[in-house]
Amino acid sequence: MKLSGLLHRSRPELPGRTGVARVDRRTDTLLRRLKPGDIVVLDQIDMDRSTADALVAAQVAAVVNASPSISGRFPNLGPEVLVSAGIPLVDGVGAEALHTVKDGSKVRLHEGVLYSGERVLAKGVEQTPDSVADALVEAKAGLAHQLEAFAANTIEFMRLERSLLLDGHGVPEVEVELADRQVLVVGSGFDHTGELARLRSYIREYRPVLVGVGAGADALLAAGHKPDLIVGDPAEVSTEALACGADVVVPAFADGHAPGLHRVQDLGAGAVTFPSSANPEDLALLLAHHRGAAVIVTVGLSASMTEFLDRGRSGSNASTFLTRLQLGGTLVDGRILGSLYRSRVSAGAVLLMISAALVAVLAALLVSDAGDAVLAWLSQGWKGLVDQIKGVFG
């Protein structure tokens, strides 16, 4: 008995990364229940950067994809984010893995093979920085086809949503006042947390209306700001955010059906619906625009062509393109604002003015009978004032 226990304890550990399997075909649902060290099993062709950023933030141990993470249709950014973060990515294990791998079970990943103990559950191709870079180069050839499909979808979206885009027909009434106000719209795209942090001084100084799109509402709360307006599927928003007192706008289908509306109503919060085929980000922008916002600043929303196509949803991209075209010069990218914004009275200017005043005081002291105690008091006060100013502006 003792010998058996000794042999069991001395058995070498199997190689690879181990963790709890989190399995779900619905990526949005999966992302909300991840914990550090989980091994994720999903099915997402052309993994986008937003999904990859969420996986990195959740500190998962590895990602196993039933589909190709880069199909070659266009150069999507998600795989590069994962491998750069040191998270193993195994591609093309097949849809059957979503049934073979049991959610919540302990699994092990080694060299592209997913195991339960020593039993093989799924096999795929483990991506490396070199393989991802090569695939992205080849994928650029698919851009022409994507742009052709995008042009067709743009025409169709314009036909369906012309009255909304041009005249604001269907835009719901909300209690928060938007006319002639600056509006900050926060989504959950790439580096939205960092962008929001860099706009801290802007928010403090200008007090814009804060709009959270989906998980962007929780990003605002996490940064210490209460959203004034929430736009998106309530299933993507925490209970805390939905119950914070913000106006809630729920996207709806053309027939008026709004998935997730009952969740807001169950919380006792008020909500209005916004029937449209546009994505929630664009609905938030159009609402602010047609309600008379003076300036609309975006955080975590697609900006470049690469990010734009990275979504992989042609209809959604048509919505975004036409929305940005309609908003024109009122739209400001938060990344640009964050890099250019300076408080109207800088810390250096304040210190310079105080220094000039102190020089005058010290000059007067030098020709007076003031003692060393006064000088010591001034020196201590100066140090404290500098520390306070650094806290305010830094």
Q: Could you report the per-residue pLDDT of 300-316, keeping only the tens digit for each?
A: 886 666 666 665 544 45
Sheet with 106-110, side-by-side order of all strands: 119-123, 113-116, 106-110, 17-23, 39-42, 62-65, 89-91, 125-126
* Lowest mean pLDDT, pick from 8-22, 146-160, 213-227, 332-346: 332-346
Task: Write out the DSSP string of 309-347.
Answer: HHT--HHHHHHHHHHHHHHGGGEEEHHHHHHH---SS-H
Residue 103 has pLDDT above 90, yes or no: yes
Boundary of a domain, candidates 74, 104, 127:
127
How many other CB atoms are there within 10 angstroms of residue 366's CB atom? 9
| Tokens representing residue 302 in the block | 């697609």
Q: Are residues 210 and 226 in the same domain?
A: yes
Mean pLDDT value of segment 334-360: 61
Boundary of a domain, candidates 340, 367, 385:
340
Q: Are residues 106 and 170 in the same domain?
A: no
Give CA–CA dist 250/303, Å, rounded: 24
Give CA–CA dist 376/357, Å, rounded: 17
Q: Are residues 123 and 161 in the same domain?
A: no
What percent of the chain clears pLDDT 90, i.e. is strictly above it? 44
Q: Are residues 113 and 214 in the same domain?
A: no
Comparison of pLDDT for 96 and 73, the residue scoring more = 96
Place of tokens 């997730």: 260
Q: Are residues 176 and 121 in the same domain?
A: no
Give CA–CA dist 74/392, Å, rounded: 45
> Is 135 a member of any domain?
no
- Mean pLDDT (the chain) is 82
Q: Are residues 172 and 319 in the same domain?
A: yes
> Is 87 a member of any domain?
yes
Evaluate the CA torsion angle 317, 320, 323, 328 in order and state its sign: negative
Give CA–CA dist 93/102, Å, rounded: 15
Give CA–CA dist 241/233, Å, rounded: 12
> Is 132 a member of any domain?
no
Contacts of 88 (CB under 8 A, 6+ apart): 17, 61, 62, 63, 109, 126
Highest averaged pLDDT of the listed ranges 4-18, 155-169, 207-221: 207-221
Angle at 166 between CA 185 and CA 326, to 5 degrees: 45
> Is 207 a member of any domain?
yes
CB of 245 within 8 A of CB of 270? Answer: no
What percent of the chain clears pLDDT 70, i.e. is strictly above it? 77
> Is 136 a member of any domain?
no
Give CA–CA dist 44/49, Å, rounded: 12
Q: Are residues 18 and 100 in the same domain?
A: yes
Boundary of a domain, candidates 67, 94, 127:
127
Which residue segment(s) compose the domain that 85 sits in?
2-127
- Number of domains, the chain: 3
CB of 146 within 8 A of CB of 73? Answer: yes
Q: What is the DSSP letter of 176?
A: S
Q: Are residues 353 and 284 in the same domain?
A: no
> Is 134 a member of any domain?
no
Q: Are residues 255 and 307 in the same domain?
A: yes
Q: Are residues 122 and 205 in the same domain?
A: no
Query: The domain that contains 109 carries what CATH number?
Result: 3.50.30.10
Q: Are residues 200 and 68 in the same domain?
A: no
* Lowest mean pLDDT, pick from 143-157, 171-185, 321-335: 143-157
Angle at 232 between CA 231 and CA 233, to 5 degrees: 150
> Is 133 a member of any domain?
no
Q: Collapse the DSSP code of 304 into the 3-class scheme (helix H, G, I; strand E, B; otherwise coil) and give the result.
A: coil
pLDDT of residue 17: 94
What digits encode the pLDDT tens for the residues 239-283?
999 999 999 999 987 667 787 788 888 887 878 999 998 889 999
Q: What is the DSSP letter of 172?
A: P
Task: Write out the DSSP string of 180-236.
Answer: T-EEEEE-S-TTHHHHHHHTHHHHHHH-PEEEEETTHHHHHHHTT---SEEES-GGG
For the chain, the distance separating the N- and C-terminal CA atoms, rounded to the nearest angstrom, is 65
CB of 188 within 8 A of CB of 230? Answer: no
pLDDT of residue 348: 55
| Tokens representing residue 164 in the block | 């909304």
Q: Are residues 115 and 147 in the same domain?
A: no
Comparison of pLDDT for 312 and 136, the residue scoring more = 136
Residue 47 has pLDDT above 70, yes or no: yes
